[in-house]
Each structure stands twice: as C-alpha cells, then as structure tokens.
C-alpha cells in the first residue's frame, strides 16, 4: 500500500528558533527534507508500503510540526529535536532516529 500527499500552496519561512531543522535527514527507512522556506519532502518505506508527503509546514507545536493545507495535514512527532552529538546532527521523528546529510 502506498500513500502520498502532494500539496501545492504557500509556505512561510521557518521560525528562526527552528533553523536547525533545515536540511536533509535520513535513516534506512526514511528521508526527510526540510527547507528554510518552510517546505517538507518526506518519504518513509515500511513493510506494508510507503508514505510520502510534499507540502508546506503549517505550524510548529513545541518540537512537532504539521505539514499540509487545511484538513489535509500530517503531524510529524519530534521526540528529539535536532541535536549535535560528536559532530553529527541527529533528530528523532515519528520514532525513527535520523542523521543529517552533510
């Protein structure tokens, strides 16, 4: 099963306190790109299929963020925001530890 959400719409730049979120983040099963202009390009592979989202970030609630437009929205649960550990940026999103691509 494959689920995709592609939304074209206005995006606004990320808040300055979320600048560390910008970049390409990867794990074996997930790829997440967050732009400074406030857009998300997300793809996750799982045994049951894949899910992808390409949309503007609507808002942040704490460390979590929502991407989409109106009722078509996806919440990204950020258990650990971008953190620099031994020179490598990591972040945990939706239960998956991601590493920032240099």
Give mean pLDDT, residues 32-54.
Answer: 94
Contacts of 74 (CB under 8 A, 6+ apart): 5, 42, 53, 55, 66, 67, 68
Give mean pLDDT, residues 45-49.
Answer: 86
Predicted pLDDT at 9: 52
Q: Which two tokens stand for residue 77?
A: 């649960």
% pLDDT > 90, the chain:
79
Mean pLDDT of the chain: 90
Q: Which CATH class is domain 2-100?
A: mainly beta
Give mean pLDDT, residues 62-69.
Answer: 95
Nearest residue to 44 (alpha-carbon basis) of 56, 57, 33 = 33
Predicted pLDDT at 46: 82
């Amino acid at each position: 099963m494959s689920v995709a959400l592609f939304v074209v719409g206005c995006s606004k730049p990320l808040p300055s306190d979320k600048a560390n979120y910008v970049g390409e983040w990867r794990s074996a099963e997930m790829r997440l790109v967050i732009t400074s202009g406030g857009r998300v390009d997300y793809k996750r592979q799982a045994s049951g299929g894949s899910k992808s989202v390409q949309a503007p970030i609507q808002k942040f609630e704490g460390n979590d963020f929502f991407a989409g437009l109106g009722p078509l929205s996806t919440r990204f649960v950020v258990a650990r925001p971008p953190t620099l550990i031994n020179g490598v940026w990591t972040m945990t999103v939706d239960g998956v530890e991601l590493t920032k691509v240099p």
